[in-house]
Amino acid sequence: MSTPRDSAPGARRLALFCLVAGAVVALDQASKAAARAALVPGEPVTLIPGVMDLSLVYNTGAAFSLGEGAGLVFVLVAAAITLLGLWVAWRRTEVPLPLALVLGAVAGGGIGNAIDRVALGAVTDFFKTTFVDFAIFNVADIFVTCGVLVALVLFWRWDSARERAAAGE
């Protein structure tokens, strides 16, 4: 049976997870609101010459416009990832805190895009690279993509350390 003292580390980690996720959602939604207020679809604005433009588009798919029209599926995936992250932060206290916090950033990005899908029927994208032909993206996409990559590295390091410890090294 768990006591309040046993759940304190999990509660702190859960609060930090939620704080990170909430900060990502706030940053994402503020940037999208600013883009919708300042930009006109089809009329890009140079942000960094030769590197990046701001170009407002509404994406009903996922990355690279794949999964066109499957918005509900993406909302459900974001919800599942968020629930998994909440569980890891709260109950799996052996998972390193940085990994749990990166999962919070990934969840925040997923929630940010899910808000757009539910409220607007499409995700607001506005960063367009000009030095290479690439998909137009947003702040949430940055946190999801970079967060998943960082999470994989952190998980690999943590798992390797556990294996070394188990082997008695």
Q: Which of 28, 53, 125, 159 is catalytic?
A: 125
In the chain, the number of structural domains is 1
Q: Which of 103, 118, 100, 110 is nearest to 141 (CA)?
A: 110
For 119-156, write each residue's pLDDT tens digit: 999 999 999 999 999 999 999 999 999 999 999 999 99
What's the domain range around 10? 4-166
Q: Which of 28, 53, 116, 141 is catalytic?
A: 141
DSSP H helical ranges for the chain: 4-38, 71-91, 97-120, 139-166
Q: Which amino acid is at 30?
A: A
Q: pTM to 2 decimals?
A: 0.87
What is the C-alpha to C-alpha distance for residues 21 and 11, in angstroms, rounded to an integer? 15
Answer yes or no: 133 catalytic. no
Can you tell me which residue has the tokens 């609060």?
Answer: 15
pLDDT recorded at residue 62 = 67
From the centroid of its chain, how far is CA 37? 23
Answer yes or no: 125 catalytic. yes
pLDDT recorded at residue 60 = 83
How confident is the model over 8-17, as a mean pLDDT? 90
C-alpha Rg value of the chain to the nearest Å: 19
For 26-84, write each residue's pLDDT tens digit: 999 999 999 999 999 999 999 999 999 999 999 987 665 566 666 678 788 889 989 99
Whether the pLDDT of residue 7 is over 90: the answer is no
Whether the pLDDT of residue 1 is over 50: the answer is no
Query: If you ran DSSP here, which 8-state letter would residue 64 be given?
Result: G
Give the other-Cβ count within 10 Å of 121's Cβ.
10
With 0-12 CB in 10 A as exposed, 13-18 as middle and 19+ as buried, what is 162? exposed
pLDDT recorded at residue 25 = 98
Lookup: tokens for 120:
């607007």
